[in-house]
Chains A and B, each alone.
Chain A
Amino acid sequence: MSIPIVVFLLLVSSTLAITYWSARRSVGRAGAYTAGGNITAFQNGLAVTGDFVSAGAILGSVALFFVAGVDTAIFYISPLVGLCLLLIFLAKPLRELGQYTVGDVLSAKLPHPSIRIFAAFSTIVLSQLYVVAQLVGAGNLFSIVFNIEYEQAVAVVVVLIVIYVAFGGMLATTWVQIVKAALLIVGVFLLAALALEKAGGMAELFELAENAYGSPLGAFGGAGMSVFSSASLAAALVFGMLGMPHLLIRFLTVPDVKAARRSVVISAVLIAIVLGILLLVVGPATLAFVKDQAVFQSVDGGIRGGSNMILLHLSSALGGELFFGVIAAVTFSTILAVVAGLTVAMSSSAARDIFSVVWPASAENSERLELIVFRSAAVVTTLIAALLSLALQNENIAYLSALSFGIAAATNFPILILAIYWDKLTTKGAICGGASGLSAALFLLVLGPTVWVQLLGNSEPVFPSNYSTLISTPLAFSVAYVVSKLDHRHS
């Protein structure tokens, strides 16, 4: 049995042990949805770090550095801005108003049941897209590490996720995330140390990297993004942080507002350290040790296994098969943990914000039925995401992740901010605003270069950019404002 397989089996066994331990402690609705609210600030900070530093952030952004150099920092600076705004505007009200889901927060301000259903719908749509990004990473990773088909790899992930979520709920998901975040931080430090050791120092590493890159690595503009695209992408990454449900529900797992706020700062420190090392050492190391190396090239001259696998190739170049196995296992645990968190967000929304609203049960039955729906939803949502990931297996996962951040920025973010800070928002206004933001984001996505040209085979995109947040988010705010004003006038 090869080293990567042994490391992978050890990792999966430990996460299953965590799930078994959690399943014995997770009691009822609170245990399944929010780990009973007993997670400490430091643990939650680690879990938020783990949620944010997903396959998209780690595999995708390193792959982007390979082609776009320092422009990739848009993926590093924007989320830190988002975290700061999350602390300023949302951490306190989320913990005070929310119980289990984003729908709880909204319905504390807008009591009509339709707002819950809408919140659940948008949570499921945007989480699905993010899960697809992670599954694409998992499929590519698995097929390289174990030499199995992409479809088989995705199937393994789906089975593991269903076990984590259905049996261990949020407690298992949080502890898998904490373990993974700790492993990831250690893994990134090891990668950096080995890269510096192999190059002989920082200056030597940059010299090698710049030789391979072919132009000054510090020069901006390598990605060739238009002003609109880059501003729209930055807006998606900033405001998406304030609308991603799997991140928002993390603040419902801590006991009070103080812990919620402290966990934001702890996660900001940890995320900045990880992203800083990616920017300063790991990104340049991929150019120095992977680019133009025949062993990492496919027959068509591209990167073997696709660009998302550049980080794995770097680990192989730096530490051989053993280190490759360790980094592959850490990356895989990243994917498992993030997908588990997203699945909890989707399943709890389906059970609490759709099922219990549409089919209200008697008090003694409601919790039992809700938990059955929660577990069933975990199966259904991961299966749908698995099917979608088969169609999108060659997409860059940083791009796919950014799309879901864009949808979060156009739906959940405007509604949450208006519901919390504007007393005149009405239920109609919130739903119309959120629906228009969601529709605009999806519509412009279809008309953009990736779907319209690459997937549908048209020659020119109707909408020139893959990112539409600069249009869809202001549209959501405007529609929510106008409809709420009209609603007040009519009533």
Chain B
Amino acid sequence: MAHLKTNLSPDAVRAVFSLLALIPLILFMLALHNGFPPFLGFSHLLGVPVSILLLLALMFFQVALTGCYLHFVAEVEDTES
């Protein structure tokens, strides 16, 4: 099974994934309080506001991250133990 070859301890891997998981939320909070380029809220791509497309991308990044953790970390840990 393909998996991440790493010298990081399980705790460090958990910390890295947790930080990655928080990134979409941090970006959203920045956008919410105008720390994000405001033009994104006004411009459109194929008629859809770019900010909504970015939010969808952040949501699916989150799902991909969850899948990656399962495939590359959790199931590998289970196999090795």
**A residues apposed to B, CB below 8 Å:** 70-71, 73-74, 76-78, 80-81, 83-85, 87-89, 91-92, 201-207, 216-221, 225, 227, 230-231, 234, 238, 257-258, 261-262, 264-265, 268-269, 272, 275-276, 279-280
Contact = CB atoms under 8 A, between A and B. Distances in A.
Given A221-B32, A238-B25, A202 B52 contact: no
A77 B55 contact: yes
Interface in B25-55: 25, 28-29, 31-34, 36, 38, 40-44, 46-52, 55
Closest 9 CB pairs of A and B: A203-B47, A218-B49, A219-B41, A218-B51, A80-B62, A84-B21, A218-B41, A268-B66, A272-B63
B17 A80 contact: no
A262 B63 contact: no
B55 A84 contact: no
B63 A269 contact: yes
B24 A218 contact: no
B65 A216 contact: no
A230 B29 contact: yes
B4 interface: no
Interface residues of B, number: 42
Given A88-B14, A218-B41, 20 more contacts: A73-B55, A76-B59, A77-B62, A78-B25, A84-B21, A84-B69, A87-B66, A87-B70, A87-B74, A88-B17, A88-B69, A201-B47, A218-B49, A218-B52, A220-B34, A225-B32, A231-B29, A258-B75, A261-B75, A269-B67
A80 B66 CA distance: 9
Contacts of A269: 63, 67
A220 B65 CA distance: 25
Nearest to B70: A265
B63 A76 contact: no
B48 A272 contact: no
B70 A219 contact: no
Contacts of B58: 77
Contacts of B75: 258, 261
A323 to B, nearest CB: 25
Given A70-B55, A74-B32, A77-B28, A204 B47 contact: yes
A216 B22 contact: no
Contacts of A225: 32
